[in-house]
Amino acid sequence: MKKLTVICAAAFALCSAVVAQNLNERVTVHFSTPVIVGQTKLPAGSCDIQVVRGSSNNTIIVFRAENGVSTAAVAARVSPSDTDGASSVALSRHGNDLHLYRVTLSEQVAYELNPVE
């Protein structure tokens, strides 16, 4: 009976860790100006960002603006550049446009979007 209790506790801990990880891979941000992700211009306002994993090694990040505009981008997991543990996005300016190129979800998880050609 004790062995069964230990196995159940371990299974519960493992499932809790998986659920916590999935909850950590979603964040809502607010853009004060339009931002381009890939070839899609997301309008200013709130945007939901979610990491989705497929059956391959690629990581897909889905962006959903509050007005319904959505897009997805292929990304690679990279080491986070900041150490404060806050979720953030990194933007680069190309002419008059702001392009999103990096999403940091915690101090251990960051993704850099693959360039669009």
54, pLDDT greater than 70: no
Tell me whether residue 19 is in a domain. Answer: no
Best CA proximity match to 28, nearest among 11, 51, 13, 50: 50
Asked if the structure places residue 6 within a domain, the reply is no
Average pLDDT over residues 15-44: 77
pLDDT in tens, 59-87: 999 999 999 999 999 998 888 776 567 88
Position 16 in a domain: no
Q: Please indicate, yes or no, if residue 13 is contained in any of the structural domains.
A: no
pLDDT in tens, 103-115: 998 767 889 998 8
Q: Which stretch of DSSP H or E encloses residue 66?
A: none
Assigned domain for 54 exists = yes
Q: Does 20 fall in a domain?
A: no
Whether 12 shows a pLDDT value over 50: the answer reads no
Structure tokens at 1: 């009976």
Domain containing 54 equals: 27-113
